Amino acid sequence: MKFAVQVLEAPYNNQASDTAYHFIKAALDKGHTIVRVFFYHNGVINANNSAEPPNDDRNIYKRWTELGKEKGIDIVACIAASKRRGIKEGQIVEGTRISGLGQLADMTIEADRLITFG
């Protein structure tokens, strides 16, 4: 099955980002495909490279970077939501890109299911 994943919440506010990450890992382990991850609304904060969580805490930003690079998953942060939150192209984690809502529409067309977290 092909999944499109949308994340609407910032990391560390609630479990949405963590749950999305673990869902994706489990889906990939079961042989499913992740069409794209789309960060929208406060979810774009997941792509902000200026955050530095304490060493004894999970690093959600690093997790998304590794997932994008190691698994080749297309991770996109909404450009309008990013601009509203002061996140620019040079401020996003490696393996993530900023683009428009067309990416969200395309992934919902290509995927069998859209899963939203947050």
Tens digit of each residue's pLDDT (9 = 90 or more) over 70-118 = 899 999 999 999 999 999 988 999 889 999 999 999 999 999 999 999 9
Looking at residue 51, its pLDDT comes to 82
The count of other CB atoms within 10 Å of the CB of residue 115 is 17
Catalytic residue among 16, 35, 78, 81: 78
- Full-model pTM: 0.95
> What's the pLDDT score for residue 52?
82
Which CATH fold topology does 2-117 show?
A: Hypothetical Protein Ychn; Chain: A, (3.40.1260)
Burial class (CB in 10 A: 0-12, 13-18, 19+), 57: exposed
Is 78 noted as a catalytic residue in this protein? yes
Checking if the pLDDT of 31 tops 90, the result is yes
